[in-house]
């Protein structure tokens, strides 16, 4: 019986061979390997292929770029479609959104796609990833995720999508899915809206049973799109007067702050902190990222002191994004100069990265304390899928990149990042978030 793990690589190998117009014998001759090896790999009868064999086959097929990355990923037994790990933390205040989005994207008469639109820091990506994981069983063709890189071209995005589903290239995707329903999650459409729109339009035309879930500060602009505004978390009204924290817990913004505060502080709120708590979450505009960053300061500050740092006001700010910028800047100022430098360098990682990659980029073997410090302050998010990975929230990454540019460091940091990926290639690192 063919191995399910390796029959996927067999399909990829066979598709590339046929595209190149080669017989099994011709491919074996070009790669200088036995024809039986090619046959067994294509039929899924072979055990895990040797790295040398895979490299010889890739060279014989003339694979480069994303085609090569997808080929190598399939050889390592990568699933047909992948998603970043679901957030380990509960999404406070999003139960209704999750249930309704899952219902819409499992309804046979529902929309071809949904775009989660909202301001920076409102939690669009986390919401989308949770919904995508809930939908995994409803899409036998797979649920995959890609993140949009700055100024990416439509063709590059199409190649990234095909690679995530395990197909050799975009034109192979319809045959690879073979009519099975599939879902693609595209994060940060606003980084290249025209390219995303063009790529999704082509995918929807070529793959009739493909649906999409997109995140962005603005809609993607497709006729098949249904926009789902992601609102900030509800905050207590100005007129509310309470005596206990429990009375505030019905407001998700308060619940999130207290949950995050409990990670860095064991003591309960003092009576004099209750009123300022309500004012603080209003001042932060109910933005989850701003609330999490502010709560991390509770390790050394009281709630009134945190509020004072963000311009105490009885009224919410006119623009939540302004509040988020202030919180990120204030947290950045809490770092030591060497920590600020490291954060600026790490801004070149658009998506997930590991500790060892950070060590190479920063040129030091002692980054554990640094990463722990950034996580404690809420500047880094962590996922654990056999290997611990880190990610800068988009608002933090954008702020750090702006600071790196202002310090004249960004160009050199990007060059080091490019060399790092060239020396230590990671399949899908530019696509998976």
- Summarised one tens digit per residue, pLDDT across range 361-373 is 898 767 888 998 8
Instruction: Determine contact, residues 427/73, Cβ cutoff 8 Å.
Output: yes
| φ/ψ of residue 241, rounded to 5 | -125, 120
* C-alpha distances in Å from residue 44, one per residue of 2, 10, 24, 59, 340: 5, 6, 14, 21, 50
pLDDT value of position 48: 63
Residue 188: which of 151, 225, 147 has the closest Cα? 147
pLDDT digits (tens, 9 = 90+) for 115-155: 999 888 899 999 999 999 999 889 988 899 888 877 788 88
DSSP state of 135: T
| In the chain, % of residues over pLDDT 70 | 85
Which pLDDT score is estimated for 274?
92
DSSP annotation of 225 reads: E
Rounded CA separation 298/293 (Å):
9
Predicted confidence band of residue 79 (pLDDT cuts 50, 70, 90): very low
What is the average per-residue pLDDT within 23-49? Answer: 83
CATH domain 337-423 topology: Arc Repressor Mutant, subunit A (1.10.10)
Burial class (CB in 10 A: 0-12, 13-18, 19+), 220: buried
Work out the number of other CB atoms within 10 angstroms of the CB of residue 44.
Answer: 17
> DSSP for 368-423?
HHHHHHHHHTTS-EEEEESEEEEE--HHHHHHHHHHHHHTT-HHHHHHHHHHHHHH
Strand 113-117 relative to strand 225-229, pairing:
parallel
Segments making up each domain of the chain, as ranges: 4-75, 95-229, 245-333, 337-423
Instruction: Specify the CATH architecture of the domain 4-75.
Output: Orthogonal Bundle (1.10)
Count Cβ atoms below 10 Å from residue 245 Cβ, excluding itself. 17
Q: Which residue has the tokens 């006729």?
A: 223
Question: And the tokens for 247?
Answer: 């009375």
Provide the token pair at 13: 């190998």
Listed in sequence order, the residues at least 6 apart from 95 whose beta carbon sits closer than 8 Å to its beta carbon are none
Tokens read off for 264: 């860095």
Which uninterrupted H or E stretch holds 109?
A: none
Contact (CB, 8 A) for 173 and 165: yes
332-336: long-range pairs with CB below 8 Å, 24+:
332/379, 332/399, 332/400, 332/403, 334/297, 334/377, 335/373, 335/377
Average pLDDT, the chain: 83
Q: How far apart are the first and last CA of the chain?
A: 35
Amino acid 148: pLDDT? 85
**Domain 95-229: which CATH class?**
alpha beta
Q: What is the DSSP letter of 292?
A: H
CA-wise closest residue to 258 among 234, 272, 274, 271: 274
Residue 215: which residues within 8 A CB-CB, separation 6 or more? 115, 116, 117, 124, 125, 127, 128, 185, 186, 187, 188, 189
The kind and range of the H/E element at 230 are none
* Lookup: tokens for 21: 């117009």
pLDDT of 74 strictly over 80: no
205-258 per-position pLDDT tens digit: 999 999 999 999 888 888 889 999 999 999 999 888 887 888 899 999 999 999
Beta bridge partners of 281: none
Please state whether 89 falls in left (phi above 0), alpha (psi between -120 and 50) or beta: beta
| Cβ–Cβ < 8 Å for 213, 116 | yes
């Amino acid at each position: 019986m063919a191995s399910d793990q390796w029959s996927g690589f067999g399909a990829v190998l066979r598709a590339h061979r046929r595209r190149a117009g080669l017989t099994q014998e011709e491919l074996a001759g070009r790669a200088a390997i036995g024809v039986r090896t090619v046959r067994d790999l294509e039929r899924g009868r072979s055990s895990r292929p040797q790295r040398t064999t895979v490299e010889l086959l890739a060279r014989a097929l003339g694979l480069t770029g994303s085609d090569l990355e997808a080929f190598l990923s399939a050889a390592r037994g990568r699933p047909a479609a992948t998603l970043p790990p679901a957030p380990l933390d509960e999404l406070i205040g999003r139960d209704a959104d999750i249930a309704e989005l899952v219902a819409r994207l499992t309804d046979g008469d529902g929309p071809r796609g949904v775009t989660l639109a909202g301001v920076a820091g409102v939690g669009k990506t986390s919401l989308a990833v949770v919904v995508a994981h809930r939908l995994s069983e409803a899409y036998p063709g797979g649920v995959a995720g890609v993140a949009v890189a700055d100024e990416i071209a439509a063709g590059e995005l199409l190649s990234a999508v095909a690679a995530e589903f395990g197909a050799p290239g975009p034109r192979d995707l319809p045959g690879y899915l073979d009519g099975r329903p599939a879902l693609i999650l595209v994060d940060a459409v606003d980084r290249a809206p025209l390219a995303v729109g063009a790529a999704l339009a082509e995918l929807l035309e070529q793959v009739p049973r493909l649906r999409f879930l997109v995140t962005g500060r603005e809609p993607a602009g497709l006729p098949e799109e249904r926009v789902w505004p992601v609102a900030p978390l509800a905050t207590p009204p100005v007129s509310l007067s309470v005596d206990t924290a429990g009375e505030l817990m019905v407001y998700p913004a308060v619940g999130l702050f207290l949950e995050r505060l409990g990670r860095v502080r064991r003591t309960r709120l003092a009576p004099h902190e209750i009123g300022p708590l309500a004012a603080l979450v209003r001042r932060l505009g109910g933005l989850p990222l701003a609330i999490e960053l502010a709560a991390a300061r509770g390790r050394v500050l009281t709630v009134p002191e945190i509020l004072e740092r963000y311009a105490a006001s009885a009224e919410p700010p006119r623009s939540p994004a302004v509040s988020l910028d202030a919180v990120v800047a204030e947290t950045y100022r809490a770092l030591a100069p060497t920590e600020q430098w490291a954060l600026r360098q790490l801004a070149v990682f658009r998506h997930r990265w590991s500790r060892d990659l950070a060590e190479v980029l920063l040129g030091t073997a002692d980054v554990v304390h640094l990463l722990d410090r950034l996580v404690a302050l809420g500047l880094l998010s962590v996922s654990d899928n056999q290997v611990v990975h880190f990610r800068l929230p988009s608002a933090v990454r954008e702020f750090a990149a702006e600071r790196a540019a202002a310090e004249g460091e960004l160009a050199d940091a990007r060059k080091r990042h490019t060399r790092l990926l060239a020396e230590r290639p990671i399949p899908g690192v530019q696509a998976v978030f």
